Amino acid sequence: MGTYLFIFYVLSFAISSPFSLSESDSLSRGSSLSLERKNDVLTSRNGVFSAGFYPVGVNAYCFAIWFNEASQNHNGTVVWMANRDQPVNGKGSKLMLREAGDLILSDAGRTTVWATTTFSLKPVQLHLSDSGNMVLLASDGVVLWQSFDSPTDTILTNQPFTRNTNLVSSRSRGNFSSGFYKLFFDGHDVLRLNFDSKALSSNYWPPEWALPWDVGRVAYNHSTFAWLDPLGYFDSSDKFNFSSEDYGSRLIHRRLRLDHDGNLRLYSRKSLGDRWVVSWQAFHNPCKIHGVCGPNSLCTFDHFDRKCSCLPGHQMKNREDWSYGCEPDFNLSCDENEYRFLKLPRAEFYGYDFHSSPNYTFTDCQNLCLQRCECKGFEHSFSLDEGIFNCYTKTLLTNGYQVPSYSGDTYIKLPKNYHLSDEESKLNCSDRVITHAKIKSHENQTVRFILWFATGIGGLEIISILFVWCLLIKTQQNSTANARSNVLVTTRFKRFSFAELKKATRGFSQEIGRGSEGIVYKAILSDSRVAAVKRLNEASCQGEAEFLAEISTIGRLNHMNLIEMWGYCAEGNHRLLVYEYLEHGSLDENLSRNVLDWKKRFEIAVGTAKGLAYLHEECLEWILHCDVKPQNVLLSSNYQPKVADFGLSKLLKRGELINKPSFSRIRGTRGYMAPEWVTNQSITSKVDVYSYGVVVLEILTGKSPTAIDGAKDMKHGGLVKWVKQSLIDASSSETTLRVEKIMDPSMKGEYDAEKMETLLRAALECVAEDKDARPTMSQVVEALLHDHENYH
């Protein structure tokens, strides 16, 4: 069959006049296609599509339409199947166009497994069109049946999608039978994705809890019509639309498929034989698709790979197939004294709440779950809008996923006597996310991760760990090309080519910053987003695998008060990071220009604390910034602070740092450094707390710690000493007057004294000499927010 197709393909393109093989794109009345005759395949005139028997298993075939491939080594990409759930036998199976005008597919010559149930008095013909549509056409031009009306999991360009059609995913990558996911117009005429495994069912796109109009959809447009145009634009009557990344060319092959993992993806390619690339997809984070890992499991995603794992105390039900999820190793009794809870930080489980209540304390929520034997766990999450904690108790743990940006934790119920393995108990205060994801590398070399090493290089500026990776320079142009080729740009987080960034920065012409690791340039990306591109010094470049491991960790951090990384480039010796561009520049510049009123200053202090608290988040990834200073706090258009340059320091595993004296070398910037750096104490997240305290003092006083008048002792603490001394000097005055003494004169006394006092108190706690006396960053946030709310 392959040889035949190949020859046909070559012929039909070699001969420029239309190469007419009428028997090859059509089947006439009374004839049939037989599975045994290898050449019994219909091929569209343009050579793009074929229809015939497609192997789906051992001696199992489905009648299908597929994209032809130019090479014998590839089986064509299937776009339609007649009998996906009832494959036919390899012997004696036939597709017959009967005299009555109907098409039947019979298994081994006897049972009919599929039929069009059409009828015509006129002669009919089956025709495979250039668009991939198989049409049963009567001689008077009436279309009796067409494959476009009953899609399988794919729609092609110009194929209408209506209330009468739906897409059903296949079961798995190699199994074409009907799977769990469905795309359809719901009863309110809204285009939706649904997960249905018989046992569990839910809509997951748009999210079930969102009203259509909240996500830009329009309900009740009865035309219920959607289609993909040849240029790559998809439009639906409920106002859902998108354009593919490669929008604009008619000559591209495109197919929109509901994949077996529940993601809706648009694939494109230039011509037959090329590799398909994803040019749009509904979900950037596949963990948000319901059912992906089955019940009692947790899904994690790191920009490269999705990973499923069983909850502690659970085992995979079916070793081969995650969709069955996991089952508990224990039996839950009804005695509330027999349980304890295990925290899964930043984990959400969607659905199956038997109770959801706003403003619930942790203890109340826990008790609620303990009292009900069917309760498998609960989620306690913080609502930013309302400033309260919500409690959700679960009867089933389904659709679980973990993302660092989620603002809640889930606690699962385990028997007290259940013994957790080492691996599992680590989860309780997890550093499992920190274990670097295995990067799918196309190179043969084993991927070595250098995780915890300390490069103590003293000095004013932090020297990034990238420096050491120099030892591992590996130029892998090929792997770069490979890895890139199958991601056309499917996520906001993307891999850029060096040429692309060179163009975007106009040849690295507009420098906007400079640090020890490299120079930052302003860039305009091809989608017209303005970006900051940090070009790491070539001397500090590292092997690609290590770089990617690092990037995937940094790139996964996602918080409104951290600068967002959009992508990276690793090509040859070039290592570049692409960040969002913040128009207001750094806190440093803004302070020296005196453009910040007290409100902005307060918000900046709160936001910066939030960003750092997130970085320090104990149970996920412990990242010490180690160089908190006003130059590293950038301001967005509405003066939202965003902490920059994190992650270039060192990722630290909890506990590791206490035992690693080698890390205790000086780093950071003079004036902001905690005393531990010089007193040889262990380095913990409290070094960032100290630096934060100094930054807040700078925000309040407008004085830079490196330029305090009369402060001879510049090693550290100049500003801190000045503030403390000033407060002591004024100790007899009223509090407001004391605060007044140290406030930045450029505010001209216009500020909320109480608020500034709160901030001052927090800052002074942060700069305590004894690191154990300093609060954690999350305590700082709480303190500031708490007071903050009281004033409103």
Residue 290 CA from chain centroid, whole number: 15
For residues 160 to 179, the per-residue mask of contacts with ligand NAG, x marking binding by CB under 6 A and - elsewhere, is -----------x---x-x--
**Contact partners, residue 172, CB within 8 Å, separation at least 6:** 179, 260, 321
Q: Does 237 participate in binding ligand NAG (rule CB under 6 A)? A: yes
The reply on whether position 655 binds ligand NAG by CB under 6 A is no
User: Is there binding between residue 318 and ligand NAG (CB under 6 A)?
Assistant: no
The one-letter amino acid code at 5 reads: L
How far is residue 270's CA from residue 268's CA, in Å, rounded to a whole number? 7
- Strands across the sheet with 178-185, in order? 167-170, 178-185, 191-196, 201-205
Q: Which is nearer to ligand NAG, 343 or 788 (CB)?
A: 343
* Candidates 131-139, 198-206, 337-345, 768-776; binding stretch for ligand NAG (CB under 6 A): 337-345
Q: How many CA atoms lie within 13 A of 779 on its CB side?
A: 13
432 binds ligand NAG (CB under 6 A): no
CA–centroid distance for 299 within its chain: 12
> Is-contact 389 380, C-beta < 8 A?
yes
- What mask of x and - would describe binding to ligand NAG in positions 66 to 85, judged by CB under 6 A? --------xx----------
415 binds ligand NAG (CB under 6 A): no
Write the binding mask 187 to 216 for ligand NAG: x where contact by CB under 6 A, - elsewhere. -----------------------------x
Tokens 């630096």 correspond to what residue?
691
Position 3 contacts ligand NAG (CB under 6 A)? no
Q: Which two tokens stand for residue 628?
A: 């908190």
Residue 84: CB minimum distance to ligand NAG, A: 9
Query: How would DSSP label each residue in 641-678?
Result: EEE-S-SSSEE--TTTTTT-GGG-S--S-TTT--THHH
Q: Is 55 in the site for ligand NAG (CB under 6 A)?
A: yes
Residue 516 within binding range of ligand NAG, rule CB under 6 A: no
Residue 370 phi, psi (nearest 5): -65, -35
Choose between 249 and 421: whose C-beta lies nearer to ligand NAG. 421
Nearer to ligand NAG, 343 or 574 (CB): 343
- Catalytic residue from among 189, 627, 688, 744: 627
> What is the nearest approach in angstroms of ligand NAG to the Cβ of residue 745?
39
**Alpha carbon distance 766, 400 (integer Å):** 37
Site size for ligand NAG, by CB under 6 A? Answer: 28
Concatenated DSSP letters of 718-747 = HHHHHHHHHHHHTTTS-HHHHHHHHS-GGG
| 218 in contact with ligand NAG (CB under 6 A) | yes
- Determine the interface stretch with ligand NAG among 206-214, 420-428, 613-621, 749-757 (rule: CB under 6 A): 420-428
Stretch that binds ligand NAG, among 90-98, 159-167, 325-333, 542-550 (CB under 6 A): 325-333
The alpha-helical segments, DSSP class H, found in 627-743 are 676-679, 686-701, 718-729, 735-742
Binding segment for ligand NAG among 21-29, 220-228, 548-556, 675-683 (CB under 6 A)? 220-228
Q: Which stretch binds ligand NAG (CB under 6 A): 8-16, 326-334, 391-399, 605-613?
A: 326-334
Minimum Å gap between C-beta 758 and ligand NAG is: 20
Please confirm, yes or no, whether 627 is among the known catalytic residues.
yes
* 675, two tokens: 């005393």
Q: Is 654 in the site for ligand NAG (CB under 6 A)?
A: no
The packing angle between helices 777-790 and 753-766, to 10°, is 170
- 81 phi, psi to nearest 5 deg: -140, 140
DSSP helix/strand/coil, 328: strand
Give yes or no for residue 357 binding ligand NAG (CB under 6 A): no
Pick the closer one to ligand NAG by CB: 374 or 770: 374
| Pick 74 or 665: Cβ nearer ligand NAG | 74
Kindly tell me which of 234 and 547 has the beta carbon lying closer to ligand NAG.
Answer: 234
Interaction between residue 340 and ligand NAG (CB under 6 A):
yes
Q: What are 399's two structure tokens?
A: 């659709």
Which residue in this structure is represented by tokens 């993601």? Answer: 263
Answer whether 311's CB lies under 8 Å from 400's CB: yes
Give yes or no for a contact between 598 and 751, defined as CB atoms under 8 angstroms apart. Answer: yes
Q: Could you identify the residue written with the tokens 């049409």? A: 135
Q: Which two tokens stand for residue 537?
A: 């010094």
150 binds ligand NAG per the rule CB under 6 A? no
Q: Does 268 interact with ligand NAG (rule: CB under 6 A)?
A: no
Could you tell me if 643 and 611 are in contact, meaning their C-beta atoms sit under 8 angstroms apart?
yes
The nearer residue to ligand NAG, 322 or 751, going by C-beta atoms, is 322
* 359 forms part of the interface with ligand NAG (CB under 6 A): yes
How far, CA to CA in Å, does 28 sit from each of 2, 139, 145?
24, 11, 15
Closer to ligand NAG by CB, 86 or 558: give it.
86
**Minimum distance, C-beta of residue 287 to ligand NAG, in the bound complex (Å):** 23
Judged by CB under 6 A, does residue 125 bind ligand NAG? Answer: no
Taking the C-alpha atoms of residue 191 and residue 421, their distance in angstroms, rounded to an integer, is: 45
Interface with ligand NAG includes 241 (CB under 6 A)?
Answer: yes
Burial (CB count within 10 angstroms: exposed 0-12, middle 13-18, buried 19+), residue 548: buried
Name every residue whose Cβ is closer than 8 Å to that of residue 758 and which is 6 or more positions away in sequence.
Answer: 783, 784, 787, 788
Residue (178 or 573) nearer to ligand NAG, CB? 178
What's the closest the beta carbon of residue 364 comes to ligand NAG, in angstroms? Answer: 9
Among 119, 213, 330, 382, binds ligand NAG (CB under 6 A): 330
Decide if residue 384 touches ligand NAG (CB under 6 A). no
Query: 564: which DSSP letter?
Result: P
Q: Residue 339 corresponds to which tokens in the numbers above? A: 């349980």
Minimal distance, residue 652 CB to ligand NAG, in Å: 19
Indicate whether 388 belongs to the interface with ligand NAG (CB under 6 A).
Answer: yes
Contact criterion met (CB below 8 Å) for 362 and 326:
no
Which is nearest to 362 in space by CA: 425, 427, 411? 411
* Interface mask toward ligand NAG for 271-310; x: CB under 6 A: ----------------------------------------
Interaction of residue 428 with ligand NAG, rule CB under 6 A: yes
| Identity of the residue, 177 or 201, whose beta carbon is nearer to ligand NAG in the bound complex | 177
- Nearer Cβ to ligand NAG, position 223 or 594? 223
Query: How far apart are alpha carbons 148 and 152 in whole angstroms?
Result: 9
Residues 6+ apart with CB under 8 A from 448: 472, 543, 545, 546
Q: Which residues are catalytic?
A: 627
Which residues of this chain interact with ligand NAG, rule CB under 6 A?
Answer: 55, 57, 74-75, 171, 175, 177, 216, 218, 221, 223, 225, 237, 239, 241, 329-331, 340, 342-343, 359, 386, 388, 414, 420, 425, 428
